[in-house]
Structure 1
């Protein structure tokens, strides 16, 4: 009966051991889920062991047998094992009834210890992998540049997964092709990057990588040499194991990552899970790097555009500061060379209709190397001319389209239509290489053209932009460089924008020059007309005074003599002679008045100040308006044209006062200012005043021309006329006239 009890306890103990092994398997499955789940499983199998011991003890008691000392040892060992001491062992006693039970217990304890060691190693390996994944996540998330991202990925793959070759291919957004991002190969334990061959570029669906990227599903093959039903396999020679997973963000695939090994059955579900986790982190990092690159490109493009806009704004502001052609040429060339970095120098060409050629009007950034090694400014180049269609500049002008040449070889086609003289000049300048030609005489002695800061060499790159106004080319602007880098398309676009602004400014300067020339011609003509008018007035005044005046005086005297010869009783004839005498006297006075108004002799004989006093006195006699003349700083005579303008200004003012002002007083002030360089005439009255703007408008539409004529006279002498008046406030007229340096202020 005792043996049966022991055997029963042994069976129960073995059942508990089996259950504990099942629980240990669960522990292994839960190990990947974390320490908390693993601890719960270990507590469960320890409880089972303790339960087995209790069952064995209960079995002995149920059979009426009290456990002896060996059985108590067994129960103590079971308690120690249940508490986690996997090193406990029972002494075996061969030949005893409990020896079989002790041996079974020891085997169970050893198996548990081995399984626990394996679980701990597996747990540590998972922790290490999690740590590596965490490090990979940190490394990938901190890499926003493709090169650094590839380096970080290579390091992660090296530590995390086995492979002989690793490939990362990304889907190109524009073409849809799979472009290599990273290829690594391992030889003799060392891993290195491989330059992707041309055949590494694949289409979606082509090869394993293409299939995975297209279907967004992983592929794991243990041995590709054993055959497979998959039609998409196209492996390299020597490959046995393949693991390929997609790179995707959400539902959108962005590429694939593939591992290859020469050994079979290298990859399992665990490796697939690791690579999938890594692929998820890599896809996000690649997308972040792409966005970062796009933002960087956009920021660089924005910064470049801001610089271009700043250059255009600066040019626009500078062009508004002057209308002088030479200064415009200098501003355009200087700012174009400064704004477009590769440029070493530039030239500005304008079409000369008289010559039917393009004339070089501006050069910047160069100097000429002449005989003896002297360096001189390129002024002699200003004689250069080009026909439409000649060289690059002439071609751009003829076509009305910009040109960009990025290497010396591109200049050759533009030499075909050039005249020998043009080729000679360009050879002299070092821009083309010809043999057996001599430069024209006007360029003889020039050995070459050299840009500042660059060695003397043939042209390397050039951009040419036509100057266009209202659809017609008026010239060209070209920039040159004699070394790398070549001009870019963006450089040409900026030059064309600057050329457009320059064309408008140059055309405006041309129009302004034409208008200024017309105004100068008109000014000269007006001055001649005024001078002729004054001469004619002087002549008429003299003839009225000398011829008609004397004739009327003689008639008056003759009538007086006739009156003495008439008989005293003939009253009718007496009255007729008296009427004739009155008419003759009135006519004589009117002729004298007209003679004075046309050109008072006193102005020519005695000067401005006596003429003004005499005129004010006569005006006061006729109208009763009190007049006052104040002269400051003037002791002698002024130039004749100035005296005439001042006298006419006072004459016009007195006429207006008599006709419209109803004034009581009028004051005239004549002052020589600024050390005798300016005449300042002021005429003021206390009359009813008027609206100056309306009066000038009436004069412009054909009303009284007095004020306009006065303004024209003043401006012809470079002076300024200011009229201030308001209804009820009187009127003030100010005239300022410059006195030429050669005009003497003194008695003439």
Structure 2
């Protein structure tokens, strides 16, 4: 219910007089509507009952008069009587009779309606209340009567209800007029009564507005007694109390208000400083909190000049604040740095105002110690910068970029996080030659144009590269890149920090960032830069590993393709040798056997000679077959082991080419796991093949050593040698697929491979495989 009242109060007019008028009008309108509805209902009910009684009587009388005429089928008499009834009764709209033979006699001037008999159902003998029909002439009530028993003859009379409807409309208009007149009268009475009732309230509202405008001496004069009189008396009493309170606070209102506002804004320490006369600038009052912030007692500060308790760098700021207060200008809180008696620096948030104190103008100085808050803010800012810088490196590491793009991304993100503009990274290449890897600064200078400005590694960055210790370098050194950059671009750079970039336990680069402030690289900043340098080293190491992995995957794919081609070539070679060698020899044996068979019948003395030739041919065929089998996999490897197979293969390949072979193999070598023996034999096969094809060696050394859990094979020659890194980077036939195949086989078995070679110094291949395969 309360929500309903609130809703009504929200949408009703605000003035009380208007509400009274609206209430009375609604009451009068409601009474008029109810009265109109009740009177209309009673009037219609009474008139309709009278119409039904009249219709029943008229129909019954007409039926009695027409009974004989209908029985005798005297339709002329029937028509005359029907016309007479319509003429003599104004409410009768029509009358018609249905003769026993079905003919209809009616009074319709335009012809009998075709649908009328269908709409009027069969009726009882009496007239009843009639049937209400809606016609073009309004509502018509049809009364029916059968005057002849057992004979299908009917009399119908239609009475109009237009008189009832007209009378009802007239009554309604009359009542609406009365209601409207009542509304006008009620509105006038409500307005007059409302003016009388709300006049005291209007007077109170007007006087309250005057009181709010500062007219404190005016009062409300209303007759005493009643609720309005009590309200007027209470209002006058409140005005008296307000006037007295305002007079009591008038002298010190502004000062107290400013004091409370400033104290709530800054709080804690409060001091009063003289603003005029001989006491100008002196401390007249300090509280315990203010003295504690300076490490003193309150009595030790009284009488001192306020500027004497501040360090020189804070005096100027405080003087501007006090000058603004003397001139009555609004001031904002400012931060001052002070030093207490124990030498500790404190950060104070200060604010002030000017008040009257003991009859003179003074400056109120508020101070709050925010040293801990500033330290937390600085630590949080430094921590955010650290996280941003490390996150930038981590994001770059997660993108698996090439090293050059990785360095560019990392340096840019780190400088953005540290809010610096100039930075660079110097690195050592694979030949330990220094170069400028990346530069970030003004866009008009690219890396090639910047290389001439760097003396790396002769400068201090080179010293960081050598000893691995970070350093802060001033821009006064002529060999420093910052000195040259500042001279060339006119940038106010004063120093730069250089930190090492370790990769794989060795310092392989230096990260340098330049700043415009000598205090930019404090201990915390340098620790952050060292961490960033370590992260960059990890990122580069990961990038190199990714590059190595991609290179190995590419080589593995190429090896697989070459292996498939080698398999097909080997199959082709075996097929060719079987066809050209073994196949021809077997065909010769078949021809020889045919010759022996023919000689048995024609020349038996030739049989022994032919058989001898067949034996020789069969022996050669067996040797050819054994050679093919040994090339595929020597049976010595399965029968006698790795050592004998190596010695046999060495005699067949190297000694046959006048290459002296020196074996360094223990006397008693146990049989190794089959997969290890096979791998070592294939590795030795490839190495010996390379010696035969490329080395041009006169001496080879083969060493086999057994260690706990490991077996080591070393093959060396005194040939022309090569550069292993160039072989790895080559393509096509220059890549060294045989050595790469050895490396792939060793890595699959979990072993290690090392190649030592140089032009003119021979080659040494060392392979270590785990005994567990």
TM-score bin, normalised by smaller chain: 0.3 to 0.5
- TM-score, normalisation: structure 1: 0.36
Higher-Rg structure is 2
- TM-score, normalisation: structure 2: 0.35
